[in-house]
Chains A and B, each alone.
Chain A
Amino acid sequence: AQSVAQPEDQVNVAEGNPLTVKCTYSVSGNPYLFWYVQYPNRGLQFLLKYITGDNLVKGSYGFEAEFNKSQTSFHLKKPSALVSDSALYFCAVRAIQTGANNLFFGTGTRLTVIP
């Protein structure tokens, strides 16, 4: 069975500092991994995904994520946080071999960037 864990419900970071939002996953076989961001009363916006290839994936708004197969992790990072980055972040996984398109989401991490 597929699952995703986001161990931190809340992450606070000062504006201008680097940020990391953690995600670990569990799948049978190779995973497809996604990060989405959700602003208040809005839908999910796609940030980036890992399918194959380079372990460092670059996405929208200066975000990037590093796929680490040995640690089964896909942490989201940004070198310099902005106040406007404050939002709810979801990690999601889809197992390739199932053939289904069901995304399994983590429970989300609320990022607050402090001015």
Chain B
Amino acid sequence: DAMVIQNPRYQVTQFGKPVTLSCSQTLNHNVMYWYQQKSSQAPKLLFHYYDKDFNNEADTPDNFQSRRPNTSFCFLDIRSPGLGDAAMYLCATSRDPGGSTDTQYFGPGTRLTVL
């Protein structure tokens, strides 16, 4: 089945220790997104890639970076995690950002704990 896969499902890191979260998709979608969802809050878009074009949200901290080496994979790098970065990180994909009927499909998420 075509899907969005995130690894690992649970990640524990130490304060200030860089961490990378992984997302892959078999949908062959052009767009990949990263959202941050803190406890009992709505998902918040961090950035997205349209093919190789990176689009950062204005209020995304510089501590968060992303890489998309190919269509299938996208990584979220947190350079120096703080306690406030503990959250669920959701990856999503969509076919075409300008399409009128475009729907985002989400992976299961990675829950990040910062000690």
Q: Which residues of A contact B (CB under 8 A)?
A: 32, 34, 36, 41-46, 49, 51, 90, 96, 99-103, 105-108
Known: A46-B104, A46-B105, A101-B48. 12 other contacts (CB 8 A): A41-B9, A43-B109, A44-B90, A44-B106, A45-B106, A49-B103, A51-B100, A90-B42, A101-B33, A101-B104, A105-B44, A107-B42
Which residue of A has the minimal Cβ distance to B97?
A101
Which residue of B has the minimal Cβ distance to A101?
B97
**A53 and B31 alpha carbons, distance in the complex (Å):** 26
Contact of B97 among A51, A100, A106 (CB under 8 A): A100
**A108 and B44 alpha carbons, distance in the complex (Å):** 13
Number of B residues with CB within 8 Å of any CB on chain A: 30
Asked whether B42 lies within 8 Å of A108 as measured between CB atoms, the reply is: yes
Asked whether A46 lies within 8 Å of B103 as measured between CB atoms, the reply is: yes
Interface residues as binary, B43-57 with A (CB distance below 8 Å gives 1, 0 otherwise): 111001000000001
In the complex, what residues of A have CB within 8 A of residue B108's CB? Answer: 41-43
Closest 3 CB pairs of A and B: A105-B42, A43-B106, A101-B97
